[in-house]
Structure 1
């Protein structure tokens, strides 16, 4: 009897266990008979790049009022889009997420059943978008610089009616086309691609101006990804200016070694490639490099010379020259003689004395010359012994000895000497 009761109880328990499960299924997502299906993948192990068109088909007697599409990013389902009407199509840009393995699912609301539909799942797929890789972007006929930065600008001397030849190279699994902008305008070259590629642009507008630019290469692929690189370039066809050279205040020196200064003072390349060095030329001779310091050391023979100077920029443009007259005088002045009036004890008042000298090259520098005098007991010696020292007149080779009564100088000697200086600072003491 007990066995029958137990068997009956088990049978009832089994019945109770099955009936509620069917009821729960009927009141959940399975209450809707709408079935959503992916019609174009992604399927298991597919590789997705760029924009993928998600298309869905539906079947069943219910009324689908919306559809939500979700992406599983490892552990969580993230909503991509909720569509509100058919056609049930969504253009999904896969570049919005990182490369990796994903799965999609879709579900909607069945207004007839008053419930959500069951889930439709895609296969597990990978997103493998490849950003284009630029391996080369260069300009032909660069004179200096590589264009990698504004401070290392690629400079060229391309003429106004010439062409700028750009080359590029890149890779991508679905490379579409390349564009080039920010070139010396007006305008920009046509895109390279899609279809076939020339991998170069021969750009000219018939009047390429001097200046600085940052041409930009962009590679686009069919997935909507792109990569960009800039090359910094400059066109410089004009030579730089040079400072005014100088040697000395009067242009004469007393050495074969002459140093010009002032070459860099006020010198400018006016926004071009920059001054590289300075050059000098003696008369009608050849131009010689003088370095970049703004000074120039020359070796000159005695005589007068015309020295030309100019600046040269980093791309080889030479600017207009300036010149300076430089004289080399290695010879001391030629001495002549004294002009002194007759002296006696009856003379009253000052006397005028002068010295005659000449210099055939640089000439006498009167302002640097000096006459000195003194009174001596015997006219012998280097210093007048009565006055005890040399007395100076005003600068020049002419002056006065100012005495009121010469009778006080009876039996004394008037000693005179002159320091004669030329314009090259050569001097001699008489």
Structure 2
């Protein structure tokens, strides 16, 4: 009996102990589970200060969004560049400076601004006292008034542009000053470039740049050296940078003193929709020479040099050369007097295209002229049309408007600009007189 009672007591002790452990384990496990599932205590933090967008940037973005909705340009031209343009201010565009810079869009023809004048920020759609679209500038080019989004100015820098009948160097300074004012008057969203031509071409920037204050403010310094008088000497006669060579596809232009072909090709490669040119006369574009003709010419030069030596050694040659030297001395004295009179008035020596105009002819055998063939105006016009068709229509763009101003041209020069202005639709030509120093044409 006693042993049975002991077993019963031990059983209950063990059972109670197990129950107590089970209950304790359940409670402990429940607390653990509760801790992991209990929601964290709520905390409150102050939000970061709100970023304020500058008013000009807000207007800029709104204007660009409206442009995307309203622009009639093919979507392929604007879609890829618009997003990157909206992410930068106008001041972020590279400026040309001394070394070439590039526009932020790499020359893509996108309209990026608004307004009608400098110093007005981005302006407003249809603002500026007119109804100009965003990025369109109204330009008054020596009396020709047109509107465009991508404007290229072409300036003749040939010696004939600074001859006395065209106002000398002071007159050309006025031409440059007027050009600077036009560029500074462009709306901030307009793209522009400048081409100066003579025997070659100088380009303001390798591709169109947007008309920011930084880009336009450098034009005056860039254009200043052309035919500028410094300490009684002319700074740069014609083109001197020669920093651009346009592609002359299917064209045989190989030289000349007035390379309008290079200037127009450069403007077309810029995809300008509005092209202005000021020039005094006609193109002088030498076509490529044939090797056989050059060989014949060199043989003739050798014969001339032998004949020249025999002439100057003869009695007749000595008499005629002595008379020639006297005539030349009289001519030179007249030139020196004219130079002195001009210096007294603060004017530079007379500049004449083609050198010593009016000098007496040298007697004896004449040096044979090198065989030279020049491009006809009709040929130039047809080639410009073909080149424009390739460059513009392949990109879905309309042909540009070509507008020419004749700067005190002769009759042939006047006829030339009238013909060239008809190269594309909406072209215009106009003739102005020479600028007097500080005066008007």
TM-score normalised by length of structure 1: 0.22
The higher relative CO (CA closer than 8 Å, separation ≥ 6) is in 2
Q: Which has the higher helix share?
A: 2
Tell which structure's C-alpha radius of gyration is larger. Answer: 1
Q: Which has the higher strand share?
A: 1
TM-score normalised by length of structure 2: 0.22
